[in-house]
Amino acid sequence: MNKKYQVTWAAVAQHDLKQIIEYIAIDSPGNASRILKRIKQKASGLYAMPDRGKIVPELRDQGIHTYRELIIAPWRIIYRISDTAVFVLSVIDSRRNVEDILLDRFVKY
């Protein structure tokens, strides 16, 4: 029997997603709605197979193997797996300087 995980969104990830959707909605509310649905569905699917995401390359290069990502181009859903939960920590536009964003958010704490 497969282990099931609870998927929980951190406040910063919720804020990331809100900013992305609001920005897209300025030009295309319909597209914003579709993208929101795709990102939420992809993240909620982590409850069954959280290991399917790859280790975040920018952090792996720094010796940090705790964080994984799913890609919905150009966005990256960054998350961490614990015993019974998956914590969605960030949704980042990969066209930005992702390494600086991730190191600032995750290494300090």
d(CA 101, CA 93): 10
Asked if residue 1 is part of any domain, the answer here is no
Q: What is the pLDDT of residues 16-32, one digit of tens each?
A: 999 999 999 999 999 99
The CATH number of whichever domain residue 65 belongs to comes to 3.30.2310.20
The gap from C-alpha 100 to its chain's centroid, in whole angstroms, comes to 16
Q: What is the pLDDT of residues 66-75, one digit of tens each?
A: 999 999 999 9
What is the total count of domains within the chain? 1
d(CA 37, CA 71): 14
Asked if residue 88 is part of any domain, the answer here is yes
Asked if residue 11 is part of any domain, the answer here is yes
Asked if residue 46 is part of any domain, the answer here is yes
pLDDT at 106 over 70: no
pTM: 0.86
pLDDT at 105 over 60: yes
24 lies in which domain range? 6-107
Asked if residue 99 is part of any domain, the answer here is yes
Cα atoms in the 13 Å half-sphere on the side-chain side of 37: 6
Asked if residue 61 is part of any domain, the answer here is yes
